[in-house]
C-alpha cells in the first residue's frame, strides 16, 4: 500500500480559540486516535491539502513524522471543511499497526462502457460506490476497480463478483448490487394534435331603420 509522509507536531493547546490561532498560522489542528486514546497534533495546511487532493478519498497509509524523530503510521479517518468558504478546518487520523487488522471502507471505480449502454441504449446505474473490508494495513487497496464493459441490459454485478487479493475479507453483504444496466425508459407518445374547426363568422345584424319598421 502506498505511503505518504507528512510532518506533524504535538500540541498542548486545544479548543476553538487555539484552533483558530493555528489556522491563522497555516496549520491545521488534528487528532490521532489509538486504542481509545487521543493525541492532539497539528499539521501543515499545505501538506494536508496536497494529501487530500491527490488521494481524492482513496485509502493511503500516512507516515506522521514528528520533529523528535518519532514516526507513526496512520490512516485518515475524516476531515472537516468550512461549509461556506470550503477551507480545511480539522482532520482525524487513527494509528495502525502492521501486525493488526483494521476495518476500512474502500471506494469502487468502474472501468469500460457496458455493451448494454453502448449498443442497446441502456442506462447504467451505480448502486454501491464503496465496500467495507478487513485486512492488515499494508494490504488495504487504494481503490477497487471493476470491469463493467461486458454488462448487457438487465445484467448487474454484485459484491461477490469482486476479485480481491488474498488476506482481504469483505464485510459488505455479497448480495449487494454494485452496478446494473436497465432498459431505456420508453418515450411517451406525443399527444395527438386536436384539430379545431374554423371559426364561423357571426352573421352581421342589420338594424332596420325607423321608416322601414313603420312600413
* pLDDT (tens digit per residue) in 108-138: 999 999 999 999 899 999 999 999 999 999 8
Tell me whether residue 195 is in a domain: no
pLDDT at res. 181: 95
**Residue 212 clears pLDDT 50, i.e. is over it:** no
Q: Which helix (H) or strand (E) holds 36?
A: none
Last residue of a domain, one of 51, 66, 95: 95
| Secondary structure percentages of the chain, helix, strand, coil, to 5 | 15, 40, 45
Tell me whether residue 124 is in a domain: yes
- Average pLDDT over all residues of the chain: 85
- Domain shared by 90 and 171, yes or no: no
- Domain shared by 78 and 113, yes or no: no
- Domain shared by 121 and 172, yes or no: yes
- Domain shared by 19 and 43, yes or no: yes
Tell me whether residue 197 is in a domain: no
Nearest CA-CA partner of 140 in 12, 46, 3: 3
- Domain shared by 61 and 44, yes or no: yes
- Domain shared by 42 and 83, yes or no: yes
Distance in angstroms (rounded) separating the CA atoms of residues 174 and 164: 13
> Residue 42: helix, strand or coil by DSSP?
strand
Tell me whether residue 190 is in a domain: no
Range in 4-13, 47-56, 91-100 the model is least confident about: 47-56
Last residue of a domain, one of 95, 128, 152: 95
Looking up cell 411517451, which residue turns up? 188
pLDDT at res. 191: 55
Task: Determine the distance from the C-alpha atom of residue 211 to the mean position of all C-alpha atoms in its chain, rounded to a whole number.
Answer: 92
Global pTM? 0.73
- Domain shared by 89 and 109, yes or no: no
CATH code of residue 75 = 2.40.240.10
Tell me whether residue 210 is in a domain: no
Q: Identify how many contiguous H helices and E strands the chain contains and give both numbers.
A: 4, 13
- Domain shared by 88 and 110, yes or no: no
Tell me whether residue 114 is in a domain: yes
Last residue of a domain, one of 95, 114, 140: 95
Residue 112 lies in domain:
102-182
Nearest CA-CA partner of 88 in 40, 50, 61: 50
The C-alpha cell of 40 is what? 492532539
pLDDT at res. 72: 93
Amino acid at each position: 500500500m502506498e505511503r505518504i509522509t507528512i510532518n506533524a507536531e504535538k500540541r498542548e493547546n486545544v479548543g476553538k480559540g487555539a484552533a483558530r490561532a493555528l489556522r491563522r498560522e497555516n496549520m491545521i489542528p488534528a487528532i490521532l486516535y489509538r486504542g481509545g486514546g487521543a493525541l492532539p497534533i497539528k499539521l501543515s495546511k499545505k501538506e494536508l491539502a496536497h494529501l487530500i487532493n491527490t488521494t481524492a478519498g482513496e485509502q493511503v497509509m500516512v507516515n506522521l513524522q514528528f520533529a523528535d524523530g518519532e514516526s507513526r503510521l496512520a490512516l485518515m479517518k475524516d476531515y472537516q471543511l468550512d461549509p461556506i468558504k470550503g477551507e480545511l478546518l480539522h482532520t482525524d487520523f487513527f494509528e495502525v499497526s502492521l501486525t493488526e487488522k483494521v476495518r476500512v471502507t474502500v471506494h469502487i471505480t468502474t472501468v469500460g462502457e457496458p455493451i448494454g449502454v453502448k449498443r442497446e441504449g441502456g442506462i447504467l446505474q451505480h448502486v454501491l460506490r464503496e465496500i467495507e473490508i478487513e485486512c492488515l494495513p499494508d494490504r488495504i487497496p487504494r481503490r477497487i476497480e471493476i470491469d463493467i464493459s461486458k454488462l448487457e441490459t438487465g445484467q448487474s454485478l454484485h459484491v461477490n463478483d469482486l476479485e480481491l487479493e488474498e488476506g482481504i475479507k469483505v464485510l459488505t453483504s455479497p448480495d449487494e448490487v454494485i452496478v446494473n444496466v436497465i432498459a431505456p425508459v420508453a418515450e411517451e407518445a406525443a399527444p395527438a394534435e386536436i384539430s379545431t374547426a374554423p371559426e364561423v363568422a357571426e352573421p352581421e345584424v342589420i338594424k332596420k331603420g325607423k321608416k322601414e319598421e313603420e312600413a
